Structure 1
Amino acid sequence: MGVRALWRSVREPRTLKSIYGAIYSVVLLGGIGTLLSPPQSIAGELGPVLTVIWSVAFIMGATGGMLSVMPGWWWAERLSIYFIWTGFGIYLFVVINLHFTANGSRITQIATIVIAVALFLIRRVQIHGYSFEPRR
């Protein structure tokens, strides 16, 4: 199967699904990077067990999202989004805590996390209501 045939096999909106596929890929890389080399300011606050849970939430969510976005398995993509939200929730909690207890401002990190969560909220709203993408 050629690249064009593969591209045509993806139901519309192809571009949007491709963008979300790329976003899930970035989250996967972030989760793997966090697992292999966690940021010390965050890992120190979380401890080793919660640091692993944090990174595994990203890895599981991103993997599920990558596998479910193209075929339109919305039930699986929603579950994946919940895993990703869990990872971001843990991260946000620690960053907010560090903002008030450590030196320096963490406002940029907080804003970035909130934007990332909102991106997945938009996707969650888009796929609400069905287990699978309705066929047209």
Structure 2
Amino acid sequence: MILRVRRLWDSITEPRHMKAAYFVLYTVLTGTGIATLLVPPTSIAGELGQPLSVAWSVFWILGGFGGMLTVFPGWWWAERLSIVLMWAGFAIYGLVVFSLHFTSSGSRLTQFGVIVFASGVGYIRWLQIRKYSFEPRGT
């Protein structure tokens, strides 16, 4: 079993630890999208309707799942598309949260800050992979 795990780990091109970290983050985003689709946050969905919750959750599912599929093989053009889908979900959710900050009771700035932070993580990945369509391979 340990040999299989080691072979699998060795089959990932460098930087392995970064790809594994992004894979985990894309998995979390996919799970968050599924959870939001199945059980939308009532404080937000109730205020602005179900369609917006469905929209941002679908973007997260597509972006997260696409990122999971593309991060290890180095299909950067497709991973960038996944990041754009992820950003679309964050943009919708961020606009909803930001508008609710001014139209409902309580502060939504913490939520908004976390959304901006998560979008920034995607931006860092975008910067890492922006130059090529596929990951350059050593010969």
Distance 2:91 2:46 in 1: 17
1:21 aligned to which of 20, 23, 47: 23
- What TM-score do you get using the length of structure 1 for normalisation? 0.96
CA displacement at 1:105 relative to structure 2: 0.6
Secondary structure at 1:129's aligned position in 2? coil
- What TM-score do you get using the length of structure 2 for normalisation? 0.94
**Structure 2: where are the runs of 5+ without partners?**
none
Runs of 4+ in 1 over 2 A off after TM superposition: none
Aligned to 2:38: 36
**Structure 1: where are the runs of 5+ without partners?**
none
Describe the superposition over 1:53-73 as per-residue Cα deviations: whole angstroms up to 9, x where unpaired.
Answer: 211100000000000001100
Number of equivalent positions: 136
Q: Which amino acid aligns with 1:79?
A: L
CA RMSD of aligned residues (A): 1.1
Aligned to 2:72: 70
- Residue identity (%): 57
CA displacement at 1:128 relative to structure 2: 0.5
Aligned to 1:99: 101
Aligned to 2:124: 122
Describe the superposition over 1:60-105 as per-residue Cα deviations: whole angstroms up to 9, x where unpaired.
Answer: 0000000000110001100000000000001000000010011011
